[in-house]
Amino acid sequence: MVWFFGNEKAQAAAPFELLVAVVIMGFVMVVGYVVLEDVNTQVCLNSVDREMTEFKLAVEDSVARMSSAPLTFRPEGSCFSSKKSLLQIYNEETRSVCAAVCGFATDECYIMKFSSNLPGSTKRKCLNLPPYTNFQTGVSGMCGDQSLMGSGYSPIDPTVPGGFLPGSYVIRNVSPAGHQFPLICVYYKA
């Protein structure tokens, strides 16, 4: 029977070896969780970047062609929420910032910016718009399109922080014939 139970030193070391194995397994699980969380964040930020590019192209197309551009803005994942992130279009008047974002030096440019409380999540896109592009707001003015509002859309101001939310959008150039500068209405429906 002595050979079956082995020596007593091996039996005394078994709990210690088990403890070491559990500690190593716990460490591997924590590292795996951190890596998985980082991958999910990057996938989400890439989704936001893709959606921003589609929105950028729709705005530019609407301004250039004096047309209407419908699109859906629904980034995948949880990195875009109205409580912890911000998406906004703003007019930048710093030449060095315009040069860094747009790739060419100009005194003024429009930038679409996404920022979140996640590290490294700030993304900026240059909008190739004329410098005097005007985003219209309000139902009573140029953005009072009853056919869109009857479908559940309402005009928003994309230059106001927090104006963008996931949902359906229609971007419309409402400039009257012969008007020098683009007048843009952005309609939103949840």
Per residue in 29-83, pLDDT (tens digit) is 999 998 888 888 788 888 888 888 998 998 898 888 888 888 888 777 666 665 6
Handedness of CA 93, 111, 185, 159 (dihedral sign): negative
Contacts 24+ apart (CB under 8 A), 32-35: none
pLDDT at 23: 92
Pick the more confident residue, 90 or 66. 90
Handedness of CA 154, 158, 159, 165 (dihedral sign): positive
Decide if pLDDT at 85 tops 90: no
Handedness of CA 152, 155, 158, 160 (dihedral sign): negative
**Average pLDDT of the segment spanning 102-127:** 85
Question: What does pLDDT average to over the chain?
Answer: 82
Pick the more confident residue, 176 or 12. 176
Phi then psi for residue 87, to 5 deg, are -125, 130
Does the pTM surpass 0.85? The reply is no
**Average pLDDT of the segment spanning 158-170:** 82
Decide if pLDDT at 17 tops 50: yes
pLDDT at 5: 54
Cα distance between the two ends of the chain: 76
> In angstroms, what CA-CA distances link 46 with 51, 64, 123?
9, 27, 10
pLDDT at 30: 92
Confidence band of 137 (pLDDT split at 50, 70, 90): confident
**Average pLDDT of the segment spanning 99-119:** 86
Distance CA 138, CA 146 (A): 12
